[in-house]
Amino acid sequence: MTAPRTVTVQTLDHGAVELRCPDWCTGEHEQDVHREDISHLGPDQPLTLPTRGGPVTNLVTALELRPYATDLFLRTVFVNVEIGADWYPTGLAGLEAMADVLAEQAEQLREQARRLALLLQEGRR
Give the binding site for Zn ion (CB under 5 A): 21, 25, 40
Name the residue nearer to Zn ion (CB basis): 40 or 66: 40
Provide the minimum distance between the beta carbon of 64 and Zn ion in the complex, in angstroms, as a whole number: 10
DSSP string, the chain: -PPPEEEEEEETTTEEEEEEEPTT------SSB-GGG--EEPPPEEEEEEETTEEEEEEEEEEEE-TT-SSGGGGS-EEEEEETTEEEEE-HHHHHHHHHHHHHHHHHHHHHHHHHHHHHHHHT-
Smallest gap from Cβ 40 to Zn ion, in A, equals 4
Q: Considering beta carbons, is residue 43 or 91 the nearer one to Zn ion?
A: 43
Least Å from the CB of residue 19 to Zn ion: 6
Instruction: Give the nearer residue to Zn ion in terms of CB position, either 25 or 81.
Output: 25
